[in-house]
Structure 1
Amino acid sequence: MPSDDTLLILPDLLGVFDGATSPQKTRASVSSGRLASQAAATAVAGLSLGEDLLTLPAAAILGAINTRIAAENARQNMDGKPSTTMALAVIGAQEIRFLIIGDSSIRLNGKQILRSQKPVDDISTRNRLAVHALLAPRHADGDETERLVRRILFEGYDTAIAEGLLSAADADGLYETLLARIGALAPAEALRDFLFNGIRQQSRFANRSDHPLGFSTLNQDETSLADIIDQCLPRAGIDSIEIFSDGYFLIPEAVSIEAWEAAYAQVEAEDPRKIARFANVKGATATEFADDRSIILAEAINGLPIDHGG
């Protein structure tokens, strides 16, 4: 399947955009995540032709991206609102601007990590671990367990009960367990609402700075600035930039694409189901990766041009 990630590599402009695709069927010829990430990358590239991205206010950049996503959404007659993250590096003569919306990330000099994470993903991960632990003893086939867990997380406990995937007692037990373990992440009512209605309704929290599960994203609406990263650093102190999507579950020590891929292979060998050290919202199956992944690596920023991306 085509990746939902889009890479942007232009002179002095680097970006990784990770689209979010719903498993629901759509009439469009492209996935919602791919539509959003491509539209966002195209919008940024267009802005760079006539604007100084080092100084242009974040709200203006995000507004142009959301306008482009809305236009592509209307053209494709997409259901819902396509959404994407963005991790952007704008390389100027004296400084570099880093702009991050969502959970795509940036590492500088192999050490300093710029990353924004949202509580709703932590809740989904802990929910998946609890549901997986409940269902795994009931199903010998690990891929079938993963399929059922994904459906329960996406549709929510109410639908799972209606479809016979969970009993009412199962659902109440899961909720009480998670309330005890992660109740600090969200009020009890908000946590119950999310668990019983599922990830399919997570878009209700998009760009909602007033909601405990709210998060910033690029989805054609006005992007909340509450949890974005917008930071300028002196160019002279930066020798390498790595921009990567959240499909990488382990950050390597070395600065090379080979090191990133070796770290990814280590994760897949150690915890392919993503239920142990590298717990995540989804695990791998015999035919699917847990997530798509992308990385751009720029080295020797002060002496050489962009090195490579992958």
Structure 2
Amino acid sequence: MRQLEAFSLGKKFGHPETNEDSLVVMPNLGYAVIDGVTDRNGTRYDGMLSGQFASRTAQRAIETFLLAQGREGLDEQQFQGGEHFIEYLGKAIHAGYVANGALDAVEKDWKLRGGCTVMAALIIGDRLEVVAVGDSGIRINGHDTLQVLKPLDDVTAILRRETWRFFEVQGKPTDECDRLAASMTWQGTRNQPANSITAEDAVVSAIEDRAMAACRQHLPQVPDAELLLLVQHGIAHGQGKFQNVTDPVLGYGGIDGFDVPARYVEIRSYALEDIETIELFSDGYFKPGDGFGVASWEAAFREVEAEDFHKIGRYMSTKGTTPTQLTDDRTYLGVRLK
């Protein structure tokens, strides 16, 4: 290894301890970026919100796994392919539920589960084995990029954008547009607080019509029933119904302590001698850096913020930057081998 650069920053200003991203940096063994899923309801395990718990648990499990490579008597921790590696991480989170006395609860209610994505680059002999679940990314040699973004996020991002624009036209100030759009996106149109403007029948009907029309245009292959479920029930009440199931068009994978279908496990293998640079990043970066290194990726981050601060334009998202927090946690890890 000739050069290593890493950077991670949580989205909440003044509260770096809430960062749900994690890094694994083990030169000559492997590297990973793990992104914890934002907690839905304040559930805590080991004193951490569920997303951070899943992220940190996966981090420790990967470190243990890398240290075990080539050691006798540790067969379960030897690399046996990408699906086995993801199963191993899921078992670590599952064991965490057991240790917290929460297994029965999380088996019955997906809203109580912790979850994370992972992008791992493992050095196994003379190969670089890349294994991923979710929307964190990797760029090899500055051009070979793997990042699987889930169309489901586009649905809730469109819901947020249409809500934001609806209230903007009504003359609401920016902070109010942010707040009302966040409420719709998180809870869905049919779970709004009583007596809130977002619970008024006329408002709900107008936003549902706008969001569904935009979603149909953007994702014409997705059944209306799936779009409507997400629009009406949002991230907190609807999104989990699509995780780690294969029937819905909008299904996606996440590591939450239970089975991850093989279709959601991304695997790549490279000859290590062909690798010059490895760059891993979480989805808090909406645009890749022009070159290798933290400075380049942070420049790209600033460009995105300048163009689309609220994330309702080219970089539409389920969240936007506000006076109290950035759109998302972000993490970058760059390794130059040659």
Verify same fold: TM over 0.5: yes
Could you give the per-residue CA deviations for residues 196-248 of structure 1, whole angstroms, max 9, x where no partner exists? 11111211111101222211110011111213211101122221010000001
Aligned partner of 1:178 in structure 2 is: 214
* Residues in 2 aligned to 1:266 and 1:35: alpha-carbon distance in whole angstroms: 32
| Secondary structure in structure 1 of the residue aligned to 2:112 | coil
The answer to whether the 8 Å contact 1:7/1:16 transfers is: yes
* Residues in 2 aligned to 1:34 and 1:27: alpha-carbon distance in whole angstroms: 9
* Residues in 1 aligned to 2:87 and 2:208: alpha-carbon distance in whole angstroms: 42
The answer to whether the 8 Å contact 2:163/2:180 transfers is: no
| Secondary structure in structure 2 of the residue aligned to 1:253 | coil
Aligned partner of 1:26 in structure 2 is: 43
The answer to whether the 8 Å contact 2:20/2:36 transfers is: yes
The answer to whether the 8 Å contact 2:126/2:273 transfers is: yes
Question: Alpha carbons of 1:188 and 1:142: their partners in 2 closer, same or farther (altered >3 Å)?
Answer: same
| Secondary structure in structure 2 of the residue aligned to 1:85 | strand
- Deviation of 1:73 after TM superposition, in Å, equals 3.2
The answer to whether the 8 Å contact 1:54/1:90 transfers is: no
* Residues in 2 aligned to 1:168 and 1:268: alpha-carbon distance in whole angstroms: 30
Indicate yes or no: 2:91 matched with 1:71.
Answer: no
Question: Alpha carbons of 1:172 and 1:116: their partners in 2 closer, same or farther (altered >3 Å)?
Answer: closer
Aligned partner of 2:148 in structure 1 is: 116
TM-score (normalised: structure 2): 0.83
Question: Alpha carbons of 1:25 and 1:99: their partners in 2 closer, same or farther (altered >3 Å)?
Answer: same
* Residues in 2 aligned to 1:43 and 1:174: alpha-carbon distance in whole angstroms: 44
Match of 1:214 among 251, 254, 266: 251
Identity of aligned pairs, percent?
26
Match of 2:62 among 41, 44, 51: 44
Question: Alpha carbons of 1:89 and 1:144: their partners in 2 closer, same or farther (altered >3 Å)?
Answer: same
Aligned partner of 1:253 in structure 2 is: 290
Question: Alpha carbons of 1:27 and 1:65: their partners in 2 closer, same or farther (altered >3 Å)?
Answer: closer
| Secondary structure in structure 1 of the residue aligned to 2:309 | coil
- Deviation of 1:179 after TM superposition, in Å, equals 4.4
Indicate yes or no: 2:225 matched with 1:189.
Answer: yes
Q: Which segment drifts farther, 51-60 or 21-30?
A: 51-60
Q: Which segment drifts farther, 67-76 or 161-170?
A: 161-170
Question: Alpha carbons of 1:187 and 1:5: their partners in 2 closer, same or farther (altered >3 Å)?
Answer: same
| Secondary structure in structure 2 of the residue aligned to 1:165 | helix
* Residues in 2 aligned to 1:161 and 1:34: alpha-carbon distance in whole angstroms: 27
Q: Which segment drifts farther, 143-152 or 158-167?
A: 158-167
Question: Alpha carbons of 1:132 and 1:94: their partners in 2 closer, same or farther (altered >3 Å)?
Answer: same
| Secondary structure in structure 1 of the residue aligned to 2:329 | coil
The answer to whether the 8 Å contact 1:216/1:225 transfers is: no
Indicate yes or no: 2:94 matched with 1:58.
Answer: no
The answer to whether the 8 Å contact 2:54/2:115 transfers is: yes
* Residues in 2 aligned to 1:216 and 1:87: alpha-carbon distance in whole angstroms: 13
Could you give the per-residue CA deviations for residues 131-156 of structure 1, whole angstroms, max 9, x where no partner exists? 21112233543122112111101111
Between 1 and 2, higher relative CO (CA 8 Å, sep ≥ 6) is seen in 2
* Residues in 1 aligned to 2:206 and 2:297: alpha-carbon distance in whole angstroms: 39
The answer to whether the 8 Å contact 1:54/1:92 transfers is: no
TM-score (normalised: structure 1): 0.90
Q: How many pairs align?
A: 301
Q: Which segment drifts farther, 271-280 or 20-29?
A: 20-29
Question: Alpha carbons of 1:207 and 1:23: their partners in 2 closer, same or farther (altered >3 Å)?
Answer: closer
Indicate yes or no: 2:29 matched with 1:7.
Answer: no
Q: Which letter maps to 1:56?
A: Q
Match of 1:224 among 261, 277, 284: 261
Aligned partner of 1:244 in structure 2 is: 281
Aligned partner of 1:164 in structure 2 is: 197
